[in-house]
């Protein structure tokens, strides 16, 4: 069963590539996100998808201009506050119940 050893190794390879990050794009597979909770992993997955779409759309207007590192870190830290993550996830849950 060679496929089993390949599948087992794939997890090790992906885990190594992910490292200490919470998200990764896998060629020919899509994205993978992880978090401290299901809520955080879902939140990251949704926002990673949205960010990718925005980047593709923005490229039609010309070259992208990166944010300064300090502003990017500030936005990152704010958006990953547990209260923001959980509040957003709860909102999405309420929306699906409608």
Residue with tokens 């547990």: 82
Place 31 in a pLDDT band, splitting at 50, 70 and 90: very high
Residue 33 forms beta bridges with which residues?
23
List of E strands, the chain: 23-26, 30-33
Give the chain's domain count: 1
Q: What tens digit of pLDDT does each residue of 5-29 get?
A: 777 788 888 889 999 999 999 888 8
pLDDT at residue 7, as a whole number = 73
> Do the Cβ atoms of 44 and 56 come closer than 8 Å?
no
pLDDT for the residue 2: 58
Q: Which domain holds residue 13?
A: 2-97
**Distance of alpha carbon 34 from alpha carbon 43, whole angstroms:** 10
Record the pTM: 0.80
Which tokens sit at 60? 């039609």
In this predicted model, what pLDDT tens digit does every residue of 50-94 receive, in sequence order?
999 999 999 999 998 889 999 999 999 999 999 999 999 999 999
pLDDT tens digit sequence for 33-45:
999 999 999 999 9
């Amino acid at each position: 069963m060679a496929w089993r050893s390949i599948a087992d190794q794939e997890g090790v390879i992906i885990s190594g590539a992910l490292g200490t990050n919470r998200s990764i794009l896998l060629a020919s597979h899509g994205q993978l996100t992880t978090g401290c909770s299901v809520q955080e992993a879902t939140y990251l997955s949704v926002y990673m998808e949205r960010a990718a779409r925005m980047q593709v759309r923005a490229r039609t207007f010309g070259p992208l201009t990166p944010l300064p590192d300090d502003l990017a870190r500030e936005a990152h830290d704010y958006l990953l506050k547990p209260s923001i993550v959980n509040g957003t996830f709860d909102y999405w849950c309420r929306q699906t119940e409608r």
